[in-house]
Amino acid sequence: MPSERPTFDLVVAANRLPVDKVVTDDGEVEWRRSPGGLVTAMESVMRSQPGAWVGWAGDAGEAPDPFDEDGIHLHPVALSADEIRDYYEGFSNDTLWPIYHDVIVPATFHREWWAAYRAVNERFARAIAEVAAEGARVWVQDYQLQLVPMLVRQLRPDVRIGWFNHIPFPPVELFAQLPWRAQLLEGLLGADFLGFQRQADARNFVRACRQLLGAPTKRDRVTVEGTQRQVRAAAIPISVDFQGLEQLAKRPDVMARAREIRESLGNPKVLMLGVDRLDYTKGIRHRLKAYEELLSERRLGPPEVTLVQVATPSRERVEAYRMLRAEIEQTVGRINGDLGQIGAPAVHYLHHSYPREEMAALFQAADVMLVTPLRDGMNLVAKEYVTCRHDLGGALVLSEFTGAWHELHQAFACNPHDIEGLKQTILRAINTPAKDKQRIMKALRRRVADHDVQRWAARYLAALDAAPEQPRPDPRG
Ligand code: GDG
């Protein structure tokens, strides 16, 4: 065990560190905190106890030395260019991501990708073992690191290990396609507590252990073969920093920017908005199809109605994402060509990412927010939208296939596969009287305010602490 390096009672491990490298004009390297729910949640936890964060710093090659940033000890893990291709773009985003999202596109299986995934998971586990103090709590994040719980347990049986899945956990029929299904389940069973977005995800996991490993299970517990060790799997849905984001949305400059956005779009009667990573899980194609039909049937039309679609660039080296982008851009071009007018395009399509202030202003400017994923672990955009609507304006159209729908039942629910139904729901979201929409928005906001990301982190760590105790060694030997 290293004796001089600092060790920590709380260690978070995620594929990425919560910082981005910025090279200043005079060539200095600076690290800027990347804003995200997880970081905000961790700040609230790490205020009371210092913690470490293990993750990749974002560049290929050697990792920078560990450093401290705003009270968090950052411990970079190196990834080579080949590993970025095989572990990250390959196994994580082209094997696991499609399987875990209902195989909306087919998954690709390559044994070299699996080898890289294993190697990188081993490196993460070694880094965690180095920074964890005796008896520490180790909190592993997401599908890129599913082997880490077991690997950490082998190196450090003294620590308590949790894992949280930000994406869905698939039904066993889909999970069973994975050639490495047993290794992945065994990797996860190294944890004491496994957290999921929905109860259905936790149940899918428990069922996979029973059917594919033959492990004994009882309700939310799985017993690990050859031991009496029990692992609990339960839902602890993630959320947003309600207070912080609401405060941002109340800033006079942000509210002025919301008005300016509407003006620059010609003050439409109805402004619809979509904000997504450009990902095939998000249902952008289905949304555009419903919108296009509403326009061509003249049930909606510019300039009274317009749609702003922000599609943040994502995973651009993965083929399925390149194809999706081409398809979306062709569709937007066709809709504008067929149905737009001079000075009044039917779709404002933006393939950029924006600062948080601009997102908050967009949310406030939008009369109807379209969140139509085919499958989504949670979908934070839905929660961010209602958080920003302190004026109680706006309406949320929300797919039943998001984790968020399980909490935000009052939203205008849709099945994005049912284009006719989606069209009706969009019209209902537009035409419901303002008073009723305000009542709905109030209820949605109450839910998010009471279940914010700080509460999520606190609940997760409490569940980790309360996870089934390790069986004590038998006193009779
Ligand atoms: C995964 C799961 C789960 C997007 N564009 C910009 C921007 N964003 C922000 C949004 C939101 C976040 O990115 C996206 O979060 P989502 O939850 O919508 O989706 P995923 O990226 O797929 O996240 C998901 C999540 O993990 C958390 O567990 O909810 O189901 O798939 O916060 O606002 N932010 C800024 N500029 C942009 O252009 N600033």
Instruction: Give the distance (Å) from ligand 1 centre to CA of residue 312.
Output: 9
pLDDT for the residue numbered 37: 67
pLDDT in tens, 145-188: 999 999 999 999 999 999 999 999 999 999 999 999 999 999 99
Closest ligand 1 atom to 377 CA: 30
pLDDT for the residue numbered 43: 75
pLDDT for the residue numbered 222: 98
Indicate whether 472 pLDDT > 60. Answer: no
Indicate whether 470 pLDDT > 70. Answer: no
Q: Please, are residues 468 and 192 in contact by the beta-carbon 8 Å criterion?
A: yes
pLDDT in tens, 245-256: 999 999 999 999
- 160-164 sheet: strands from edge to edge: 67-69, 72-77, 51-56, 8-16, 132-141, 160-164, 193-196, 230-235, 221-223, 217-218
Mean pLDDT of the 318-332 span:
96
Q: What's the ipTM?
A: 0.99
pLDDT for the residue numbered 90: 97
Mean pLDDT of the 39-46 span:
75
Indicate whether 474 pLDDT > 80. Answer: no
Indicate whether 275 pLDDT > 90. Answer: yes
Instruction: Give the distance (Å) from ligand 1 centre to CA of residue 38.
Output: 11
Q: Quick check: CB of 14 below 6 Å from ligand 1?
A: no
Nearest protein CA to atom 38 of ligand 1, as residue: 353
pLDDT for the residue numbered 418: 98
Indicate whether 2 pLDDT > 90. Answer: no
Indicate whether 471 pLDDT > 70. Answer: no
- Choosing from 277, 310, 357, 456 the residue with most ligand 1 atoms within 8 A of its CB, the one to mutate for a pocket test is 277
pLDDT for the residue numbered 46: 77
HEC string for the chain: CCCCCCCEEEEEEEEECCEEEEECCCCCEEEEECCCHHHHHHHHHHCCCCEEEEEECCCCECCCCCEEECCEEEEEECECHHHHHHHHHHHHHHHHHHHHCCCCCCCCCCHHHHHHHHHHHHHHHHHHHHHEEEEEEEEEECHHHCCHHHHHHHHCCCCEEEEECCCCCCCHHHHCCCCCHHHHHHHHCCCCEEEECCHHHHHHHHHHHHHHHCCCEECCEEECCCCCCEEEEEECCCCCCHHHHHHHHHCHHHHHHHHHHHHHCCCCCEEEEEEEECCHHHCHHHHHHHHHHHHHCCCCCCCCEEEEEEEECCCCCCHHHHHHHHHHHHHHHHHHHHHCECCECCEEEECCCCCHHHHHHHHHHCCEEEECCCCECCCHHHHHHHHHCCCCCCEEEEECCECHHHCCCCCEEECCCCHHHHHHHHHHHHHCCHHHHHHHHHHHHHHHHHCCHHHHHHHHHHHHHHCCCCCCCCCCC
Can you tell me the distance from the alpha carbon of 172 to that of 379, in angstroms, rounded to the nearest whole number? 23
Instruction: Give the distance (Å) from ligand 1 centre to CA of residue 182.
Output: 30
Mean pLDDT of the 384-401 span:
98
Q: Quick check: CB of 166 below 6 Å from ligand 1?
A: yes
Q: Quick check: CB of 336 below 6 Å from ligand 1?
A: no
Indicate whether 140 pLDDT > 90. Answer: yes
Closest ligand 1 atom to 36 CA: 32
pLDDT in tens, 62-107: 999 999 988 899 999 999 999 999 999 999 999 999 999 999 999 9
Indicate whether 476 pLDDT > 70. Answer: no
Indicate whether 261 pLDDT > 90. Answer: yes
pLDDT for the residue numbered 211: 98
Closest ligand 1 atom to 382 CA: 18
The pTM score is 0.96
pLDDT for the residue numbered 67: 94
Instruction: Give the distance (Å) from ligand 1 centre to CA of residue 259.
Output: 24
Q: Quick check: CB of 201 below 6 Å from ligand 1?
A: no
pLDDT in tens, 285-301: 999 999 999 999 999 98
pLDDT for the residue numbered 269: 96
Instruction: Give the distance (Å) from ligand 1 centre to CA of residue 283.
Output: 14
pLDDT in tens, 197-210: 999 999 999 999 99
Sorted by sequence, the CB contacts under 8 Å of residue 185 that are 6+ apart come out as 205, 208, 209, 212, 213
pLDDT for the residue numbered 356: 93
Q: Quick check: CB of 375 below 6 Å from ligand 1?
A: no
Q: Quick check: CB of 31 below 6 Å from ligand 1?
A: no
pLDDT for the residue numbered 473: 53
Instruction: Give the distance (Å) from ligand 1 centre to CA of residue 205.
Output: 24
Q: Quick check: CB of 439 below 6 Å from ligand 1?
A: no
pLDDT in tens, 357-375: 999 999 999 999 999 999 9
Q: Quick check: CB of 187 below 6 Å from ligand 1?
A: no
- Choosing from 97, 141, 378 the residue with most ligand 1 atoms within 8 A of its CB, the one to mutate for a pocket test is 378
